Amino acid sequence: MLFFWEVTLLAVTDTLLVLFSFMQAVALFKSYFGGAFDEDAIRNNFVLIYELLDEIMDFGYPQNLSPEILKLYITQEGVRSPFSSKKPVPNATLQVTGAVGWRREGLAYKKNEVFLDIVESVNLLMSSKGSVLRCDVTGKILMKCFLSGMPDLKLGLNDKIGLEKESQLKNRPTKRYHGKTIELDDVTFHQCVNLTRFNSEKTVSFVPPDGEFELMKYRITEGVNLPFRVLPTIKELGRTRMEVNVKVKSVFGAKMFALGVVIKIPVPKQTAKTSFQVTSGRAKYNASIDCLVWKIRKFPGQTEPTLSAEIELISTIAEKKSWTRPPIQMEFQVPMFTASGLRVRFLKVWEKSGYNTVEWVRYITKAGSYEVRC
């Protein structure tokens, strides 16, 4: 495990600035080393790291932390930097300090494509009676752009504030959009997003960096669409036997399916023998984590597979405490489904040359901390 330390000589008033610049520096190193930033990467690239630190810091203050710009002048292969030559570098100041410093000019692709992924993690804590105790969704929009020139992109989502603002600007009623509207909480954007236009029009407009980047993060606390309902029934029959029945209902559409579903059902430590039946997937007892592990490789929507198990326990005199019943935990991934209901209404690409683009949109919902008390 690698720990990072940052030391300041004076008392720092803006701790968030220090932490943010430190995280940006780590992300910069990862981009140079192919995503790996560990002890070996530091040892093998010490000279490069020293050179990068000298470039991004002036008198202890962070300056330029953009990988797109730094890679133009500091290369991992050790090619001589353009700054070392006597000839001036064209547009260097504009690229470092300009409004579009995250994207270099002169990019050209034979096929212009945009990939957009909405990835969400749903967190849930549900009581044994089926009432929701805590629920929220954390999401992010990931993009991968292979576009020529200096394109301007405009993204429209089905968020409530954005639709209301669009209706005001066009003098049309909000009800013109018949889909579900959602309210986004705690939204943070990539530096490429035009915040002035977002504040006035509530649209996400931006000139994207080249390649892969994270456009925005958000959180949803209301109106969460739970992909699964877990209905457990556990009966303790004396001190040596136990019956476990678990039904898992997939709430999403029948034409959809979840992948890599894992349900971990806790059992007492003194479990001696288990026998169970499942209507779908496979199950086994894992003594190292004191759980029945039920795995379903492909879980169709609108189905209700069940697990029935009989547990034999070792009766010990020392064991007088009652079983605390830890919660059931789930792992899953549901393609083309969002627990928040967030949808892309449009993704427009404009560039002065007028080329055609191909846009790809994908939705993925994964389990965060998905627990049900039993």
pLDDT digits (tens, 9 = 90+) for 104-126: 888 999 999 999 999 999 999 99
Band of residue 19 on the pLDDT scale cut at 50, 70, 90 = confident
Mean local confidence (pLDDT), 296-309: 97
Band of residue 154 on the pLDDT scale cut at 50, 70, 90 = very high
What pLDDT, on the 0 to 100 scale, is given for residue 10? 66
The total of other beta-carbon atoms located within 10 Å of residue 20's CB is 13
213-249 pLDDT, tens digit each: 999 999 999 999 999 999 999 998 888 899 999 999 9
What pLDDT, on the 0 to 100 scale, is given for residue 99? 54
d(CA 365, CA 227): 9
Residues 6+ apart with CB under 8 A from 59: none
What pLDDT, on the 0 to 100 scale, is given for residue 69? 73
319-359 pLDDT, tens digit each: 566 788 999 999 999 999 999 999 999 999 999 999 999 99
What pLDDT, on the 0 to 100 scale, is given for residue 360? 96
Band of residue 91 on the pLDDT scale cut at 50, 70, 90 = very low
Band of residue 176 on the pLDDT scale cut at 50, 70, 90 = very low
One-letter amino acid at 198 equals F
What pLDDT, on the 0 to 100 scale, is given for residue 90? 45
What pLDDT, on the 0 to 100 scale, is given for residue 93? 44
* Per-residue pLDDT at 9 exceeds 80: no
Band of residue 190 on the pLDDT scale cut at 50, 70, 90 = very high
What pLDDT, on the 0 to 100 scale, is given for residue 95? 47
Exposed (0-12), middle (13-18) or buried (19+): which is 97, by Cβ within 10 Å? exposed
Mean local confidence (pLDDT), 179-200: 85
Band of residue 102 on the pLDDT scale cut at 50, 70, 90 = confident
Listed range (55-59, 163-167, 254-258) with the worst mean pLDDT: 163-167
Mean pLDDT of the chain: 84
Cβ-defined contacts of 135-138 (< 8 Å, 24+): 135/221, 135/224, 135/226, 136/219, 136/220, 136/221, 136/224, 137/219, 137/220, 137/221, 137/224, 137/339, 137/340, 138/217, 138/218, 138/219, 138/368
* Per-residue pLDDT at 20 exceeds 80: no
The three-class DSSP label of residue 305 is coil
What structural domains does the chain harbor?
15-97 (3.30.450.60), 113-224+338-369 (2.60.40.1170), 228-335 (2.60.40.1170)
User: Could you tell me which residues are beta bridge partners of residue 307?
Assistant: 246, 278
* Per-residue pLDDT at 292 exceeds 80: yes
Mean local confidence (pLDDT), 252-267: 96
Listed range (67-71, 97-101, 235-239, 294-298) with the worst mean pLDDT: 97-101
d(CA 209, CA 212): 8
Band of residue 47 on the pLDDT scale cut at 50, 70, 90 = confident
Mean local confidence (pLDDT), 70-96: 50
What pLDDT, on the 0 to 100 scale, is given for residue 239? 83
What pLDDT, on the 0 to 100 scale, is given for residue 82? 43
57-74 pLDDT, tens digit each: 877 777 777 777 777 777
What pLDDT, on the 0 to 100 scale, is given for residue 76? 59
